[in-house]
């Protein structure tokens, strides 16, 4: 069973039940009972005052778990050893779930592309997620959920897995509006093929390597450019530009993930067009030269919701400062998250 490690500060000899002899041979402890193992798992969490994961749901367990030591998934789950799974996320803000339905619809589209049939209908999945959030008592953070081919064996094919598995966890975290700009680089890590980039699957190694590459160079994250030389996306976010003609442009979604927050921004941005602050709003291909010549640039993602970008490959974007239109768009999204209609916000029945 895989389990959540509460702290990265623990020493290796504290994390594993091992005894090292004088001859440097390792003697691995064998747990004699499940109760002994559970006691060990609880030891890992006992120093943690505020639990970062207040609740988890598992279809394998058939219910909600409030004890983080028990938030485990089977190691023979095909999502673990074959990466056959999809996931999605929704923000919890001020006791509301933002854009849950949009994310859940994308989640099921991803599942269809991955050829995983959910163990429950959409309405049940939605109800589980709302009940899980309520049980967590978390008013601010994120709700993340996965659908896997399920446990059953260690084969490549999931054909003999009895049923798919649905997992979800509430992550307590601060969600705030981003007002400071960041630096980015152009990633040299190959981006995913469109089939995999357009589904939100758990195979995130390219994404991880891409952001590690950026961090190695002192940047916040990176930008992917596709094989045709057009701007694609960030490692786990969409990217948008405001041209010198005051056009808001996002890359098309045909080769990248269809961002729920990005699509909501495209709807809300029409208000700035009506006010005359923006000329137009659209999706269109941009070359890297055109993109670097933009007046303003930003990342768009569920937990951001907008993050200004002020420098790219050590070159300033525009005047190298956070743009007024970027913050105007951020204000629109932030207001929508805090006080938008019930169509986009679900009140959690705590």
Q: Which of 44, 183, 200, 255 is catalytic?
A: 200
Q: What are phi and psi of 37, to 5 degrees?
A: -65, -45
Segment 292-308 shows an average pLDDT of: 97
Q: What are phi and psi of 40, to 5 degrees?
A: -65, -40
Read off the pTM. 0.91
Determine how β-strand 182-186 pairs with β-strand 221-223. parallel
Q: What is the pLDDT of residue 7?
A: 43
**Over the stretch 65-115, which tens digit does the pLDDT of each residue have?**
999 999 999 999 999 999 999 999 999 999 999 999 999 999 999 999 999
Segments of the chain assigned to CATH 3.30.470.10 = 45-170
Give CA 152 to chain center in angstroms.
27
Q: What pLDDT band is residue 23 in, cutting at 50, 70 and 90?
A: low
Q: What is the pLDDT of residue 324?
A: 97
CATH code reported for the domain at 45-170:
3.30.470.10
- Kindly report which listed range (34-43, 224-233, 252-261) carries the lowest average pLDDT score: 34-43
Which residue in 73, 143, 147 sits closest to 107, CA to CA? 147
CB count, 10 Å around CB of 123? 8
Looking up tokens 């909501």 gives 264
27 has catalytic annotation: no
**How far apart are the C-alpha atoms of 144 and 91, rounded to whole Å?**
9
Whole-Å CA distances, 12 to 18, 19, 22, 38 = 10, 12, 18, 19
Q: What is the pLDDT of residue 49?
A: 86
Q: What is the pLDDT of residue 14?
A: 43
**Over the stretch 195-206, which tens digit does the pLDDT of each residue have?**
999 999 999 999
Segment 218-222 shows an average pLDDT of: 98
> Which letter, b or e, does each residue of 247-282 get, where b requires 16 or more Cβ atoms within 10 Å of its Cβ?
bbbbbebebbbbbbbbbbbbebbeebeeeeebeebe
Cα-Cα-Cα-Cα dihedral of 249, 254, 255, 260, to 10°? Answer: 70
Domain spanning 180-337, CATH class: alpha beta
Segment 134-144 shows an average pLDDT of: 98
Confidence check: pLDDT of 2 > 50: no
**Over the stretch 310-345, which tens digit does the pLDDT of each residue have?**
999 999 999 999 999 999 999 999 999 999 999 999
């Amino acid at each position: 069973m895989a389990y959540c490690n509460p702290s990265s500060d623990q020493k290796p000899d504290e994390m594993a039940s091992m005894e090292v002899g004088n001859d440097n041979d390792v003697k691995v402890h064998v747990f004699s009972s499940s109760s002994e193992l559970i006691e060990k798992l609880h030891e890992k969490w006992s120093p943690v005052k505020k639990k970062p994961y207040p609740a988890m749901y598992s279809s394998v367990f058939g219910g909600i778990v409030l004890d983080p030591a028990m938030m485990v998934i089977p190691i023979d789950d095909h999502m673990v050893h074959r990466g056959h799974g999809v996931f999605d996320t929704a923000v919890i803000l001020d006791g509301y779930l933002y854009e849950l339905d949009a994310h859940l619809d994308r989640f099921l589209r991803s599942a269809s592309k991955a050829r995983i049939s959910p163990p429950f209908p959409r309405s049940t999945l939605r109800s589980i997620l709302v009940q899980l959030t309520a049980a967590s008592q978390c008013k601010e953070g994120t709700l993340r959920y996965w659908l896997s081919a399920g446990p059953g064996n260690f084969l490549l094919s999931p054909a003999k897995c009895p049923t798919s598995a649905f997992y979800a966890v509430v992550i307590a975290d601060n969600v705030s509006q981003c007002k400071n700009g960041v630096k980015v680089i152009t990633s040299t890590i190959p981006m995913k093929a469109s089939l995999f980039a357009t589904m939100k699957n758990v195979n995130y190694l390219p994404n991880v390597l891409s952001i590690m590459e950026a961090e190695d160079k002192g940047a916040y994250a990176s930008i992917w450019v596709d094989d045709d030389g057009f701007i694609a996306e960030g490692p786990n976010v969409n990217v948008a530009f405001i041209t010198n003609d005051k056009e808001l442009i996002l890359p098309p979604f045909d080769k990248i993930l269809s961002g729920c927050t990005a699509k909501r921004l495209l709807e809300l941005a029409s208000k700035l067009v009506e006010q005359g602050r923006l000329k137009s709003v659209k999706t269109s291909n941009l070359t890297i030269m055109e993109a670097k010549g933009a007046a303003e640039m930003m990342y768009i993602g569920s937990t951001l919701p907008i993050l200004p970008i002020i420098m790219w490959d050590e070159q300033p974007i525009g005047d190298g400062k956070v743009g007024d239109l970027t913050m105007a768009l951020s204000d629109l999204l932030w207001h929508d998250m805090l006080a938008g209609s019930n169509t986009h916000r679900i009140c959690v029945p705590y």
